[in-house]
Amino acid sequence: MLRSRKLSPSSPAAQAPLPAHIRSIARPKHNATPERSRADIVRTAVDKSAGHTQALSRGLAVLEALAATDAGATLTALAARLGIPAPTAHRLLATLQAAGYVQIGATGQWRIGVRAFRVGSAFLAQRNLAVQAFAHLEALMERSGETTNLAVIESGEAVFVEQVQCRELMRMSAKLGARVPIHASAVGKAMLAAMNERRMTALLGRQPLTRHTPRTITSHAALAKEIALIRARGYAIDDEEHAAGLRCVATAVVDEHGDAWAAISLAGPTTRITAKRIPTLGALVRASARGLTEALGGRVAAPSRAAPDRVTSQPAARDRARATGR
């Protein structure tokens, strides 16, 4: 019968090396991760992911803040604007600078870099006005019940490039490619109102403004007052100025510089587009144009102040308004 005996730690037998096959069994498995350690690893990974997301969000906020300035911003001003510590802002700027997304001038002003411009230019190359506009025109037609149009300026005239017709039997219909005068159409006046004075003057010149109906604006002074009114309220009105019995409401779609690129309008007979409906329809057109402007990367600006809609239901009253400089 075999009996086991205890070995003292100092005995030669206890100090003898174990056989290889026993050492492999007795050796602790250091590679095995306890359950608690695994949870710690997952928690650490989540924390790192959240940190990376925050850093990305802050980096994008830095780019947007710099893009909103014309002359750039100092580190201190940028940190204050974003509500983050200056050291944090500096780390973000240094990372973006290393990648070419921002640059710093001799006076310490941080600005958007060349690489950010290239990324933005890729978007500009891919946008398509007519394709992007169609959904906005369709939605506007559904909300207003009237035919909606998209027009651009070409060779001194407004040209219709897209249209969604309403379901009414009596409705406005213009062939794509049809041209209308810019001084006697809602789309034309809306785009004029979104232009700077130099471009507007170059486009209109000092040539006489052709009369198309008794309601057409035919003096440059009266047109200038009309443009100021359009800028104030945010949309233009064609009050039977190009065709008798037809009324239109339009707002400009602007590019990234805030300059006129196109115009969205709705049009219909004066029996449906009454003076009472104009404010509501104007708000719908303005919202649609704003949505398309944002979708195309344009710069949206709010109207400077509220302005009345000078559309009346009595022809005599309308003629008096025109005579006083409308």
pLDDT at residue 279, rounded to an integer: 96
pLDDT at residue 170, rounded to an integer: 75
pLDDT at residue 58, rounded to an integer: 86
Cα–Cα distance measured from residue 150 to residue 176, given in angstroms and rounded to the nearest whole number: 9
pLDDT at residue 247, rounded to an integer: 95
Pair of tokens at residue 18: 């174990």
Angle, alpha carbons 276-279-283 (nearest 5°) = 150
Q: Which residues of 85-104 are buried (b: 16+ CB within 10 A; e: fewer)?
A: eeeebeebbeebeeeebbbb
181 contacts 158 by C-beta, under 8 angstroms: yes
Percent of the chain whose predicted confidence (pLDDT) is above 90: 44
Q: Is 180 left (phi over 0), alpha (psi -120 to 50) or beta?
A: beta
Q: Which of 156, 203, 323, 185 is nearest to 263 (CA)?
A: 185
> Could you give the 3-state DSSP secondary structure of residue 261?
strand
Kindly give, in sequence order, each residue whose CB lies less than 8 Å from that of residue 290, ignoring residues fewer than 6 positions away.
251, 300
Cα–Cα distance measured from residue 23 to residue 250, given in angstroms and rounded to the nearest whole number: 87
pLDDT at residue 18, rounded to an integer: 45
pLDDT tens track, the chain, 326 positions: 444 444 454 554 444 554 454 444 444 444 544 455 655 554 555 455 555 677 888 888 888 888 878 788 999 999 999 899 999 999 999 999 999 999 998 889 999 888 887 887 666 555 678 888 999 999 999 999 999 999 999 888 998 988 998 888 777 777 778 889 999 999 999 999 999 888 888 888 877 899 999 999 999 999 999 999 999 999 999 999 999 999 999 999 998 888 898 999 999 999 999 999 999 999 999 999 999 999 888 887 655 455 555 554 443 344 434 433 43
Cα–Cα distance measured from residue 65 to residue 2, given in angstroms and rounded to the nearest whole number: 85
pLDDT at residue 203, rounded to an integer: 87
> Could you give the 3-state DSSP secondary structure of residue 10?
coil
pTM of the predicted model, to two decimals?
Answer: 0.60
pLDDT at residue 232, rounded to an integer: 94
Q: Token pair 């949870």 is at which residue? A: 39
CA distances from 280 to 39, 51, 136, 245 (A): 58, 47, 17, 20
DSSP state of 216: -
pLDDT at residue 51, rounded to an integer: 55
pLDDT at residue 299, rounded to an integer: 81
Cα–Cα distance measured from residue 115 to residue 65, given in angstroms and rounded to the nearest whole number: 16
